Amino acid sequence: MHISIIENKKTISDLFISYAAEDSRCTVVNLYSSFRLAYKKISDDKPDVILIGTDLDGISVTEAISKVKQILPQCYVFTLNQEEQANSIVFNAIEKGACGYVIVDTQNKNVINDIYEMIEGKGAKGLNIARIVLQYFQYNEQTPLTSREVEIMEMLARGKTRRTIAQEIYLDINTVKSHLQTIYKKLQVNSKDEALRIARTNRYILQ
């Protein structure tokens, strides 16, 4: 397994490289301290795995993941961290194409095994990533919206007009408008776009 690393914190990259050196299954082929340089040259590395730091200069980790996956879609991409990440952060990275996250510290010498587990979807790490993804594809049980309001919001999210919604769920268009006003009030917003943003962020809808 050939690994390229994009990380500007030397303590993290050095520690990972030291662990990788002890495992015959992998080789670190390159280390980049800036994303700009990595983006230009990383294709030449022909990596199987790319590790991306979460505190890069001038670019967010999700944007970095997205750009890397555009040029190397076949690669397994992981974020590189010193501590556990919030589930929302992990999911955002996965949504952009990451396979998961790697914890690099002096207590985790099994970091290479963690990578293999996540690639294969096995072991504690693989199961944890699956759990996080599953959680973010489940409705939030604390939603303030009724089932009818969720139905209407998800139809809006799919691009349907109020009139079409009314026709498809056999409601008067004024009733649909009334539902929307109630939704806006519950979510404390004034527009469809704001309502959809909040509903998606809080998993009130899954569209």
The verdict on residue 122 lying in a domain is: yes
Q: Are residues 132 and 183 in the same domain?
A: no
Residues 6-24 have a mean pLDDT of 91
Q: Are residues 101 and 23 in the same domain?
A: yes
* DSSP E strand boundaries for the chain: 2-6, 27-32, 49-53, 76-81, 100-103
Domain boundary among 136, 161, 189: 136
Q: Are residues 18 and 108 in the same domain?
A: yes
What's the rounded Cα separation, in Å, for the pair 117 and 39?
A: 27
What's the rounded Cα separation, in Å, for the pair 120 and 127?
A: 10
CATH number for the domain including 96? 3.40.50.2300
The verdict on residue 182 lying in a domain is: yes
Q: Are residues 72 and 47 in the same domain?
A: yes
Question: Is 16 exposed, middle or buried (CB count within 10 Å of its CB: 0-12, 13-18, 19+)?
Answer: buried
pLDDT at res. 42: 96
Q: Are residues 6 and 104 in the same domain?
A: yes
Angle between helices 111-120 and 10-21 (to 10 degrees): 80
pLDDT at 3 over 80: yes
Domain boundary among 89, 110, 136: 136
Residues 16-21 have a mean pLDDT of 92
Domain boundary among 136, 156, 173: 136
Pick the more confident residue, 138 or 25: 25
Could you list the residue range(s) of the whole structural domain that residue 51 is in? 2-136
Residues 80-98 have a mean pLDDT of 77
The verdict on residue 141 lying in a domain is: no
Q: Are residues 163 and 130 in the same domain?
A: no
Judge if pTM exceeds 0.85. no
CATH number for the domain including 162? 1.10.10.10
pLDDT at 134 over 70: no
Q: Are residues 184 and 107 in the same domain?
A: no
What's the rounded Cα separation, in Å, for the pair 64 and 53?
A: 9
Pick the more confident residue, 165 or 57: 165
The verdict on residue 206 lying in a domain is: no
Pick the more confident residue, 159 or 109: 159
Q: Are residues 152 and 132 in the same domain?
A: no
Q: Are residues 132 and 70 in the same domain?
A: yes
Q: What is the CA radius of gyration of the chain?
A: 22
pLDDT at res. 30: 95
Pick the more confident residue, 93 or 197: 197
Q: Are residues 62 and 6 in the same domain?
A: yes
Q: Are residues 12 and 92 in the same domain?
A: yes
pLDDT at res. 173: 94
List, in order, residues 6 or more apart from 151 with CB less than 8 Å away: 169
Q: Are residues 128 and 157 in the same domain?
A: no
pLDDT at res. 32: 95
- CA nearest neighbour of 2 among 26, 35, 32, 20: 26
List, in order, residues 6 or more apart from 56 with CB less than 8 Å away: 6, 7, 8, 34, 35, 64
Domain count, the chain: 2
